Structure 1
């Protein structure tokens, strides 16, 4: 490693460290290590989850890291089964998994997954190459090859149904966001339907290398999708991507960090405290973490709260009813 890179790594680590004295207490039941389920490389989950795992590990002195997964649907299954201690989940797939409607295990109620803290909203947005001539959703031609992200991801679970609701006839493709971005550039697919926190690394990379159009939902399309799916209107600010000449209308779904409900209470309490009380550190990991603030705790109406997380929120003026705590 050259000296400048070494200095950068040291500076980044130092910028994420909190005084160790802030985390005193009994750790006898804490795990020796932990793993966070994220999603594919090139997406926001992986960038956010990897950085957050490093932040927690460095500050709490427990070895931890991120794992590439298929996204929220798989994360719910892995956390429920105890194969991963933590996972990043979107509330739509979480609701289906709790109800026993996960496509990975139909009939299995994944009810051993608990909420920790709000992350950010996942906008659903559509990207094409500018030279495709596609400027709106209605311009997408019949039979277009659309990349919907990794199989079983939030995008793959909902975006195809949204496109069908809007009358788009397509050929479905799956892959990591970075792979699909490359396929779009190479002409192997026509559209990428992204569902990830903004700015999406793969879109930022695409617009450096190509001229792209980011398609928005018109008022009629917006109403149809909001009426049919567990999403809400969302505005992508013009400043998010240099390809935007104005704010772009999209829809979104909330994401929460989740844990196996059997994780030690004091461990989850300290992780929640660390994350909720240091938003500046989280934003330095990923800009989407601007929404990783305690005020957004009430966006969770799906997952039961882990007792450790609920204790921090209740101690700090954010009321979580006892019937919402596992």
Structure 2
């Protein structure tokens, strides 16, 4: 009987202690299985992925008291591989490379179906745009001379994966060059290449830097070219706003592909839920990291039609954005 009384007294005291805790302490998630540090796979320096991903990593690290940082990578294809293999907790990818990776068509590991990379939140659309020096005389896609040296970004990046095919579709004859965006910007100024074909969120740091240092042309597509590309690739029409660059006097026609942040599907749901909450609950902070984050909004959850959702992310969007995410699109179901 004494033991029962002692047990009841202990339980009652514990309950009172819990009730006495601040609400925030009671709601604090269990961090016992959280990682103490994390990396975000981005892309080359000078591109939007690096600025966006590094800024996001720093924000999440500071908010959660963890060590987090961006890692320079080859872009979406490599990020899918890094996250799938558990070599990076998070990464950034576009829908096209994500679909190819899931289907076992990632050139980094042909035949490997990369299904351990889960969607966690929408980022922004990646426009495909063409930049050259004004001195080249190139003012349209048709003006690009046969044999022009075109820089398509890092090998395996979204630009390198899709832009050469787009140029083929539009009948452009070219020599293919690869490199980081900053490096290609320097090559363009030095006359080592003739054109840069970018696939990156706008404003692209390298383009912003180029137009300060020299006169450039930002070449847009015609409506017919937009339609031709959209028939062949998973893209939609897009306009680069005129105020994006000093060089533009009016919006530039383009096509674009959606980007999503991804996570190792095995990360704790509570951890990923907190990460998503930090990113999606304060868009102003994200826009402060990069202007492209203006599209990092909860309502854009439905732009993912390729990747399985991480359970922690799916929970956040269902509870906070009325997201109708089907059960079969959540990892583990």
Q: Structure 1 length as normaliser, TM-score?
A: 0.93
Residues 216-231 of structure 1 aligned to structure 2 (within 5 Å): 216-231=220-235
Query: What whole-Å deviation, never above 9, does each CA across 1:182-202 have from its counterpart, x for those lacking one?
Result: 100110000000000000000
Equivalent residue, structure 1, for 2:299: 295
- Computed over aligned residues only, the root mean square deviation of the Cα atoms, in angstroms, reads 1.1
Alpha-carbon distance in 2 for matches of 1:253, 1:157: 12
Equivalent residue, structure 1, for 2:94: 90
Aligned with 2:265 (options 246, 261, 265)? 261
Alpha-carbon distance in 2 for matches of 1:67, 1:21: 33
Deviation at 1:21, TM superposition (A): 7.0
Query: What whole-Å deviation, never above 9, does each CA across 1:98-126 have from its counterpart, x for those lacking one?
Result: 00111111111000110000000000000
Alpha-carbon distance in 2 for matches of 1:182, 1:23: 51
8 Å CA contact 1:23, 1:60 repeated in 2 = no
**Structure 1: gaps (5+ residues):** 1-19
Alpha-carbon distance in 2 for matches of 1:51, 1:67: 11
Larger Rg: 2
Deviation at 1:24, TM superposition (A): 2.1
Alpha-carbon distance in 2 for matches of 1:301, 1:60: 30
Aligned with 1:52 (options 45, 53, 56)? 56
Please identify runs of 4+ aligned residues in structure 1 that moved more than 4 A: 20-23
Equivalent residue, structure 1, for 2:203: 199
Alpha-carbon distance in 1 for matches of 2:316, 2:155: 35
Equivalent residue, structure 2, for 1:323: 328
How many aligned positions are there?
A: 307
Equivalent residue, structure 2, for 1:8: none
Aligned with 1:28 (options 32, 37, 41)? 32
Equivalent residue, structure 2, for 1:17: none
8 Å CA contact 1:135, 1:213 repeated in 2 = yes
**Structure 2: gaps (5+ residues):** 1-23
Equivalent residue, structure 2, for 1:164: 168
Residues 5-24 of structure 1 aligned to structure 2 (within 5 Å): 24=28
Alpha-carbon distance in 2 for matches of 1:197, 1:295: 19
Query: What whole-Å deviation, never above 9, does each CA across 1:112-157 have from its counterpart, x for those lacking one?
Result: 1100000000000000000100000000000000000000000000
Task: Report whether the alignment pairs 1:309 with 2:313.
Answer: yes
Equivalent residue, structure 2, for 1:114: 118
Equivalent residue, structure 2, for 1:189: 193
Query: What whole-Å deviation, never above 9, does each CA across 1:245-279 have from its counterpart, x for those lacking one?
Result: 11000000000000010011000000011111011
Equivalent residue, structure 2, for 1:275: 279
Aligned with 1:237 (options 229, 238, 241)? 241
8 Å CA contact 1:23, 1:270 repeated in 2 = no
Alpha-carbon distance in 2 for matches of 1:24, 1:196: 37
8 Å CA contact 1:267, 1:308 repeated in 2 = yes
Alpha-carbon distance in 2 for matches of 1:45, 1:290: 14
Aligned with 2:144 (options 112, 135, 140)? 140
Aligned CA distance change for structure 1 residues 33 and 22 (closer, same or farther; 3 Å): farther
Query: What whole-Å deviation, never above 9, does each CA across 1:29-55 have from its counterpart, x for those lacking one?
Result: 000100000000000000000000000
Equivalent residue, structure 2, for 1:68: 72
Q: Structure 2 length as normaliser, TM-score?
A: 0.91
Task: Report whether the alignment pairs 1:126 with 2:130.
Answer: yes
8 Å CA contact 1:238, 1:246 repeated in 2 = yes
Query: What whole-Å deviation, never above 9, does each CA across 1:156-206 have from its counterpart, x for those lacking one?
Result: 000000001000000000000000001001100000000000000000000
Aligned CA distance change for structure 1 residues 314 and 133 (closer, same or farther; 3 Å): same
